[in-house]
Structures are given as C-alpha cells and as structure tokens.
Structure 1
C-alpha cells in the first residue's frame, strides 16, 4: 500500500482521527495507520490502497489541508535522504521533463531563506531536469519540518533552527477542498441563525461523523435554528427536524414566509432535502415504529444559552387550577388561538441517557447517533459515557473540544444489533443508585463556576 502524508489544519486535533475513520467507512476503504501515530501532531503518515482514496479523503474531510505522497521521513536530513534514495521508483519518472516547484516549510517555526536554499540543494541527487515553475508546475515537492512548541522556552529562533522533531518529504497529491465549506456555512453569513447556532466547522465535522450521504434519512430531535440540517442536507441526505419550541425553527417569519430554517436552507440550495419541521416534545414523540433513520445527529440544549425542556409542570396544580387550565385550553381552541403547553427542566444526564435509548429504537441496524455532551473536565471519567450505553449500542468515538474548566464531547454511538426494540418510556422517576456522571446538573455547575457546593 502506498504511503501518504496528511497535513492538517491546526484546529480540533481530537476530531481528526474520528473524522478520517468515518469518511473512510463512508466510502468503503481501509485506513492503515502506524502504531505510533499521534493525531495531535500536524502531520500524519498513513497507508492507503490508492491515490483515489487520498482524493476522496481530501474532498470530504474538513480538517485536511493537503495530502502528499510520502517519499521519505527521518529524524534528520541524513536519514531522510537515505530513505528517499531507496524510494527512487516513486519519483524517477518525474525527473527528466516534468516542471516542478519545491516548497520548504515548518510547523511551529520559520526557516530562514538561506537554509531553505540549502535544503533544496540537498536534493540535487534526484537529478530533476524539468523546468522550475513557481506558478503552474506539473508537480509540487514539499519538505516539512515539525518542531515542538517553543512556549515557555528561553531559546532564540536562530538557536532553535534545525532542531526539529521529524522531517517529511513528498509530492503533493491534492489540496483539501472540503475545508472551503467552513466559510460557505459561516453563521455570520446565514439568513437565519440564533444564539444557540452551532459554528460551521463543528457542524461539518458532525455531518462527517454522521456519514451523511445521498439516500440517507437523518433526524435532528433538537433542531433549533437548523445548524445541523444544512451541512447534512448539503452532503445529500434527507433531513427531518423537530423541537419542543417551534419558535426556534420558525423565527420571526411573516404569514407568507417559510420558517427561518427553510429560508436558510434555500440559501444553501438544500431546501428540497428538508422533509419537514415539527413541534413536539421528544419524550412525547409521534413515532409509532422504529428502525426509521440512518442517523440521528443533534446538539441537545444543556442550559447555558438555552435550557432543555420537556412537557409538564414543576409543581402539580390544585383541582381548582386544573379546572381553570382546562377552561383556558378550550377557550384558546374556540378562538383559534395557539395554546402553549407548560414545560419543565429536563436534566442533562437524564436527557443524554434517554437520547441513547431513543436512538436504539429509531435507528436502522448500523445507524449512528452523533451528539454533543458538555462535561466538567475535572470531574469527567470515561465511565460517564459508558454508563449511558444500553444493550445494542456501541461507542465509536468520543472527542473533546476543550474550553478550560469545561468542554463538550462529540460522542458517536452505533446501533450494533439487528434486534428491534420497543419505544422508550422516558420515565421521569428513576431508580436511585448506580454511577452519577460528572455532567449531572451541568447547568447549575456552570453558573456556580464549577465550584463544589458547601
């Protein structure tokens, strides 16, 4: 299998490997990573069956900037040149009459121009006789030096130069085209958005882990302003959205205007892939049969910018109040006025556990549940995620977006069974005992500054 080098965008390092694996599974080809591969590093060598597979990754992975065919790597240039000379069969066909361009660059460091020239001259044994073309070359050869961070070190750039961790050399295969979608779906340029709208890069990463593609049916049970619907539909899937608060999906639309989510979907040319938007409580849902959806992907509210709600009241009404409430409902119905039912808070740890059980009921075998779960970094334990799983549901990925004292984890779970399950009951009263996850009562912890109660 040929060796390739992935050059990553410098963001969301924990999401790199799950995205790679999801896209490779989507297109049906294997990845072969070195045993010591570290996704937190900016360069990742890997083996693929063909160059076409490298192009597929670059066309879909949001975090890939470039893919190079890897000719050689080493801890110093002597090792690099020995390895490159041994791989003459990879580059000899370009040596005689191919126009080329040579790039020398570094991560966490700026290489002086004088040493860049010395590095290029060090490859003269390759005998490239073609024209040097800086604007339109037939091939681009790249040399990448990887340096550790210099933060907190009392060392000058001059002293640091050349003391790299690893150096890589190869031929550019393709630039990552999917990266441009981050600007395409920029929330600031969107016709309709709200204070809970997901940033575009994250929503695209979620769409990739959801393996969105044509002919798939995807459900977002906490649709809100539709941030997840747009990239999912852009990749060809059909989307159904629901929310307990229809105002989030509708926005301040006039009588003759479509809901805000559909207006933004039209902006991206995907309005015909939004099947419908419905208002209902996910715990009182209308689904009367399971195994419906290929994927459930959502960003549940967790009480910081918007709180999770379910139907019900915090306190039970007296008989007099119940009678008055029924009279109010009938009056609203007779006057054709909207009746907004009362809601009460939906505690995050219960919501997350219920979401997994709902996904087991609604997903087709092999379908994925992709959602964000906020966690308190000091209190988080792996068992917090494992304890949410139920029979038939298998954890695929768990990646942290770190905000300091807290973070949110992108959790991907697969339905790993062909068995059909009954609809979940969403019991409000749970049996005490068992593991108490660190994200329980997250909202209260957040506004308390994550300090322990007295």
Structure 2
C-alpha cells in the first residue's frame, strides 16, 4: 500500500525534476508514482505530491535529489483552508499518534509572498482540532508541521506590503520528514571555490544533476570522453563511482603544475583515489579494444562557442609531395625539440553526437547510460532532432531543456537497451539523414546571433555558456 508525500522543490531547472526523481528511485529499486491531479504533479510548480511505499523511500529522495529542498508526510491540500482542513481531518490516522506527549512546532510559509505575523497566528489556530497535548518547542521539536501557501508568479511584481494576502492558488500541509542533504552539495562543488577550473567548467548544480542521471553509486565505473577540467568527474566520484577521463587536448586535464589539475581538484573533495586515470586521445582514434566496460558515460561535448570540437586530421588534404616529405621525416625529432602535436580539424556537432552515441553503445554495459548536453536553437528545434542521432540498441529516456532564450541546451539521457556485443566503431562511414537537426552548424548560428531564426540576441548578460 502506498502513501502520499509532499515534495518542496528548489525553483531551478524545472524540467530536470521528474527525470531526477525517476533516476534516483530506479537506482534504489523503487518506483515513484505521480498523482493524476494537475494541482499536485505539475513540475513547473514548487510543490508536488508523490506516492511512495514508505517513509524510507521519501528520505532516500531527500538525501540524494539535488532539486529537492524537503519532503513531508502529506496531510492535505486545497484551494482554500476549508478544503485543506477537510482533507487533513480525513487523514487523522497519520497525525493521531502524535496527540499525547510529542513536542511540536508549526511552520507557516508562502511561495511568492510573505504572510503577515497576525494571519500566521490565525492559520495556526485553525488547526486547533488536531489537539496536540505535547509541548510547543520552537528549537528542537520532535515533529514540525508545515503549511505552505502557493501564490501565482504574477505576485512577484512590486506591490504594497501584504497586498493580495490570502489570494493563494493552493495551500499544502504536512509533517516534515527530511530536509535535503543533497542540495548543500551545490555549494560544496561551487566552481569559484575549486582549485582547478577553466572557462568551460560546468556549474556545480548542473554537474550534480548529470551525476544523478548516471545513477552514480559505489562500485560503478564511469567515463568522460571530453574530460576538460573534470567538472563531471567530481560529483560522480563523490557518490562512490570510479572515473576514467580522456580528452583530445591533454593540457585541459593537466594544467600547468606537475600534479594534473583534475587530480588536484579531486583531492580537494577527497575523491582523488576514485580518479582511475587520465588519457589523451581523440575518441575517433580510441585505444579501447573491448566494449561493455562502463556503467555510464557522462560528458559535455564541446560545441564551438568557447572551445571548438576537434578531431585528428587535416583541414586540407596533403599533396603527393607533402606526403612524401612527411614519410622522409617520420621518426625524426622536431626542429624546436618539442613533442610532435598532430594536426586537428573541426568536428561538426551533429556528427560528433551521432558518433558519441555509437561509441557509447560499444563501451557501455547493457542497461548503461549515456548522459550529455546538446545545444539547440529554440526556434528550429524539433523532437526528431534527438532521434536522428540514435542507433540500434540505444533509447532516449530523458530530454530536459535548460532555456537561455534564443537557444538552450538539452540534457539527454540515452540507455543501452540491448545485450548484444558490438564491434568497435570505425567512424568512417557516414550517412546523413534526410532530416537536418537544429544543432547542425550550431557554432556558426550562435555567432551569427541566430539571425536566420530569431531576432533575439544570442545571449544576454549572465547567460551561461559552457562550451
């Protein structure tokens, strides 16, 4: 038999909420059920009512989900206090055990509004029928009963003090079970406090969300093929997974000191022993000689805004004479005495992500996940864009948008649904589909200000640009 639980969310990354809930519940072997009520299951709203089998499952979500602020044992909700009290009274069996000698505290709050002190007292007195006999303890109560009024976003505008008080959309009531112990990790992994980072480092909150999509946990092996400064490695290592990283440009991983920058930052978080190794190579010329190695692949591919995607090769083919000269000087030291740096050429984004999916199918274990960001042009994006990159045995299970206006980036989660063993991809044969995805030539569209599709500026002040 299931019970209802009230979830209070942080007001950020709304589209990421349900995929995160589903990933963490799957990781821990249970299922989250959403009520068939638009007032209780809208991911755009700050509160959601879920059905779970027991309190322990609710506590697991609060301890791991980054977007959850707290979880409550659900007592009731309504568009008025009359409705709320009616439902709360019908759930008497939930709060009746706390009648006799349990110390308690009532907490009254509102979303998008501040309730006057006078009316807070009136709200508390309205619950007199609960008849708690224990002591009122404002510091260390045994239970906290919380009441939340939700006001429409329109009330964010400047207004007189207490204007619109009582004109809430919904009011929710429940007993606090668990405050989030995962949400504070956003501050722990804050890039500004990190010993090693670069201009393409992913912000902490998003990298933590990505880690949850991989279902990172002790004993799992994970891989980032575009490691950069390692932003994705630290959260998944924090959750217990072992990490291997690679990049075509080893300087991004190493930095300028003798100890690689990624390792130094990992040591800051106490997870350096979970960084298995770092390697420099192009994924289209990879050294992996057997597949089925990793539980998940997590990465933020470069899409050409701050760091362009590259692969080995030359932009122009060599003449026969140039090829002959290269053969004659093969193996000889460089004129400047430095190491040989092979030439690279641009790696078009739509080709890169298609290759990444094929690469992941080869390297992932059955049931493994590929989690990555895909930039898209808002006015051009179609759902089919994501499916053009898929191959046999790979299925999209989550697609969440982080919207920046003219463009956005989508957190894509793809699951390997086959147990069939595939040979290593060659990345040679390419058959472009008849459909041209919106992320094709994204770099050019970005620097043109998306003029072909939108009159908005490419990015406003404060708009995050990772790659």
TM-score (norm 2): 0.93
Residue matched to 2:121: 117
Unaligned runs of 5+ in 2: 454-467
Structure 1 pair 334–158 and aligned structure 2 pair: CA distance change class (3 A): closer
Residue 224, structure 1, aligned to residue 228, structure 2: yes
Quote the Cα distance in structure 2 between the aligned partners of 1:152 and 1:232: 36
8 Å Cα contact 1:146/1:166 also seen in 2? yes
Residue matched to 2:362: 361
8 Å Cα contact 1:99/1:133 also seen in 2? yes
| Aligned positions of 1:69-218 closer than 5 A | 69-150=73-154, 158-218=162-222
Quote the Cα distance in structure 2 between the aligned partners of 1:91 and 1:351: 56
Quote the Cα distance in structure 2 between the aligned partners of 1:90 and 1:32: 20
8 Å Cα contact 2:200/2:307 also seen in 1? yes
8 Å Cα contact 2:358/2:425 also seen in 1? yes
Residue matched to 1:65: 69
Displacement, 1:323? 3.7
Quote the Cα distance in structure 2 between the aligned partners of 1:118 and 1:335: 81
Residue 431, structure 1, aligned to residue 410, structure 2: no
SS of residue in 1 equivalent to 2:332: helix
Quote the Cα distance in structure 2 between the aligned partners of 1:88 and 1:54: 20
Displacement, 1:434? 1.2
Residue matched to 1:25: 26
Deviations 1:286-307 (A, max 9, x none): 1111111110000000000100
| Aligned positions of 1:225-374 closer than 5 A | 225-253=229-257, 257-326=258-327, 329-332=330-333, 337-374=338-375
Displacement, 1:335? 8.8
Quote the Cα distance in structure 1 between the aligned partners of 2:378 and 2:106: 44
Quote the Cα distance in structure 2 between the aligned partners of 1:334 and 1:273: 40
Unaligned runs of 5+ in 1: none
SS of residue in 2 equivalent to 1:398: strand
Quote the Cα distance in structure 1 between the aligned partners of 2:105 and 2:67: 25
Structure 1 pair 424–143 and aligned structure 2 pair: CA distance change class (3 A): same
Deviations 1:301-342 (A, max 9, x none): 000010000000111122333344445552327997311100
SS of residue in 1 equivalent to 2:252: helix
8 Å Cα contact 2:254/2:262 also seen in 1? yes
Residue 449, structure 1, aligned to residue 453, structure 2: no
Deviations 1:342-384 (A, max 9, x none): 0000000110111111111111100000000000111100000
SS of residue in 2 equivalent to 1:330: coil
Quote the Cα distance in structure 2 between the aligned partners of 1:300 and 1:431: 21
Deviations 1:170-198 (A, max 9, x none): 10001000111111111111111100000
SS of residue in 1 equivalent to 2:362: helix
Quote the Cα distance in structure 1 between the aligned partners of 2:330 and 2:165: 75
Structure 1 pair 195–154 and aligned structure 2 pair: CA distance change class (3 A): closer
Deviations 1:144-184 (A, max 9, x none): 11111116879756442111111111100010001111111
Residue 38, structure 1, aligned to residue 81, structure 2: no
Quote the Cα distance in structure 2 between the aligned partners of 1:374 and 1:331: 42
Displacement, 1:260? 0.7
Residue matched to 2:463: none
SS of residue in 2 equivalent to 1:230: helix
Which region of structure 1 is more displaced relative to structure 2, 418-427 or 118-127? 418-427
SS of residue in 1 equivalent to 2:48: strand
- Work out the number of aligned pairs and report it: 449
Structure 1 pair 44–152 and aligned structure 2 pair: CA distance change class (3 A): closer
Runs of 4+ in 1 over 6 A off after TM superposition: 152-155, 333-336
8 Å Cα contact 2:112/2:155 also seen in 1? no
Quote the Cα distance in structure 2 between the aligned partners of 1:433 and 1:83: 55
SS of residue in 1 equivalent to 2:331: helix
8 Å Cα contact 1:329/1:339 also seen in 2? no
Deviations 1:118-142 (A, max 9, x none): 1001001111121111111111010
